[in-house]
Structure 1
């Protein structure tokens, strides 16, 4: 077993991950007072972790709402826009906020502070204010559950069961656990010395995206992601062009409820492309879709943090992003 140096976790990322059940409960309560008439078609604007929250909602509520997630400075034609920025100072989201106002869209702002909070308050725009002090990627539940409560209050009875389920899972994810699946997966990735390419489908497509970004920000390594069945129309050819076993590590995220044709595609792809090279499959846990969704988030967040510690990094700082934002502010 590769040793991890917990002293590198100077900002306490592992400690924060252990609080996930309590953060979920708190985040759900924040959506209680926001009573809005939201149409079936809406746009969520955000970047980074704020956008991932929108992606998770879009796939989780796909049978009830048509949610388009926008990463960028503009918005498509729409009547309702959710502007989501944990810091409240995301340049792209603030620009989209002003565009939505100019277009007379109804707006809901979700933020912890910053310019977005000020603009929403001064314009008397509905606002869900979430706690500050977290890294945006750690604050994911605050960017998901308040809006979920606004859109689908029927999940109220499931939230306590979800929190209990995630709490029990944490017992196996803790650094002191005897059998620690995320630690073992992090070790597999670390010892492979390869760049992870992550694939998901359906409910787990945004989970694959989330894992990719967590490997980028927490583990400080390159990673890529794609989804089934889309990858069968492009990535598949790339894998067949030459031997990639010494450079890339395919990681398949699976869940109970995959479309049967997707399951067939995955099995055929495995036999055609990865029969002779190392490949990792991760199967979800949980009885409900919400439990499976957040089991994947929780499990893979731990993987990314353990991998960071194996690689000798503090998982929290993202210094290069800070420098980029400072440089942009001067332009």
Structure 2
């Protein structure tokens, strides 16, 4: 189905998409190109310590996914560890020889601000990635290197800028070379395969819709270095479609979770695959597929496409973002609002004012 035909198919749902989340998702290649051009100069300009022992990327929710993506993208390339952190504090092992990258799209994420405060007390080198808020204010006052991303987006929709800003930071810190150029090339690749990715996203959305209608909640199975893509699908279904979805890692799930398929279940499964799987991955994924088939579990495989790790990873992000929004539209659900999350933030703000602790 051509892009124009697909959009026409969903035209009756367009009024539901109050903030044009589908259009934003479709623009991923152009936004990655924009981000790679926007942040490529940071490689030479950011005043960062060179060659830190590791990079800790602190963030929550839509701001966290960039760190998980970076970990996958550099898993086999960087000689130093990329450590995504979703906490309110830093591990005791982190010291001044490490680099903290504090990511908060709004700039007001309490958990991330607490990490920044602790890093300041412990004199840990820090760089801030944000669109504004209190984090940008602190970065200016405390002379912390600041990387600004475009404002006015939903945090999860800012992924193209997070996935280009963070690589610029680690390249500036000397952990890897040529990553920004690879991102720009990946944007061109995604543009060329846009139709194929859109078809995959549409097929997945319709399959998921059928499963939800039958009362089956999806478990997303993935493996390194594609964990971030599988986790992205789970969280995008949660936020965009307002539905439960679950995520599990291979090979760990082989040692516990697969026993659950021996009992009663109301689940389906999405299996993330990629070309060139090494034998120790391939046979585990094949066993999982045969197990699900034998138990009568509805399941679908989604395959990455591309010639290198970045292309494969981003092709999955692209398809999954589109699928989650189309799923929302099929349900007649506006993908933009996150009312329950907003209620939590308001609840906490009335009881915990992080600005008073600064």
* TM category, shorter: over 0.9
Measured after TM superposition, the shift of residue 278 of structure 1 is: 1.6
Measured after TM superposition, the shift of residue 31 of structure 1 is: 4.5
Matched with 2:187 is 163
- Is the partner of 1:313 in helix, strand or coil? coil
Q: Is 1:237 aligned to residue 259 of structure 2?
A: yes
For residues 318 and 195 of structure 1, the distance between their equivalents in structure 2, rounded to whole angstroms, comes to 20
Question: 305-314 or 3-12: which moved more?
Answer: 3-12
Tell whether the 8 Å contact from 2:66 to 2:166 is kept in structure 1 after alignment.
Answer: no
For residues 30 and 297 of structure 2, the distance between their equivalents in structure 1, rounded to whole angstroms, comes to 40
Which of residues 169, 172, 186 in structure 1 aligns to 2:205? 186
- Is the partner of 1:97 in helix, strand or coil? helix
For residues 209 and 193 of structure 2, the distance between their equivalents in structure 1, rounded to whole angstroms, comes to 23
- Is the partner of 2:272 in helix, strand or coil? strand
Which of residues 255, 262, 268 in structure 1 aligns to 2:281? 262
For residues 104 and 162 of structure 1, the distance between their equivalents in structure 2, rounded to whole angstroms, comes to 37
Long gaps (5+) in structure 1: 175-179
- Is the partner of 2:156 in helix, strand or coil? coil
Question: 231-240 or 273-282: which moved more?
Answer: 273-282
Q: Is 1:71 aligned to residue 92 of structure 2?
A: no
Measured after TM superposition, the shift of residue 23 of structure 1 is: 1.4
For residues 261-300 of structure 1, the aligned pairs below 5 Å read: 261-275=280-294, 276-300=296-320
Question: 222-231 or 152-161: which moved more?
Answer: 152-161
Measured after TM superposition, the shift of residue 26 of structure 1 is: 2.3
For residues 311 and 173 of structure 1, the distance between their equivalents in structure 2, rounded to whole angstroms, comes to 21
Tell whether the 8 Å contact from 1:187 to 1:307 is kept in structure 2 after alignment.
Answer: yes
Matched with 1:177 is none
Matched with 2:355 is none
- Is the partner of 1:84 in helix, strand or coil? strand
For residues 1-331 of structure 1, the aligned pairs below 5 Å read: 4=10, 5-28=13-36, 29-33=38-42, 34-36=46-48, 37-63=50-76, 64=78, 65-76=80-91, 77-78=93-94, 79-151=98-170, 152-172=176-196, 180-193=199-212, 194-240=216-262, 242-244=263-265, 247-275=266-294, 276-331=296-351
For residues 101 and 264 of structure 2, the distance between their equivalents in structure 1, rounded to whole angstroms, comes to 44
For residues 59 and 191 of structure 1, the distance between their equivalents in structure 2, rounded to whole angstroms, comes to 31
For residues 146 and 35 of structure 1, the distance between their equivalents in structure 2, rounded to whole angstroms, comes to 15
How many residues are matched?
323
Tell whether the 8 Å contact from 1:30 to 1:130 is kept in structure 2 after alignment.
Answer: no
TM-score by length of 1: 0.93
For residues 267 and 61 of structure 2, the distance between their equivalents in structure 1, rounded to whole angstroms, comes to 24
Measured after TM superposition, the shift of residue 202 of structure 1 is: 0.9
- Is the partner of 2:41 in helix, strand or coil? coil
Measured after TM superposition, the shift of residue 227 of structure 1 is: 1.0
What's the RMSD between the two structures over aligned residues? 1.8
Long gaps (5+) in structure 2: 171-175, 352-358
Measured after TM superposition, the shift of residue 191 of structure 1 is: 1.1
Measured after TM superposition, the shift of residue 35 of structure 1 is: 4.9
Measured after TM superposition, the shift of residue 238 of structure 1 is: 1.4
For residues 252 and 39 of structure 1, the distance between their equivalents in structure 2, rounded to whole angstroms, comes to 36
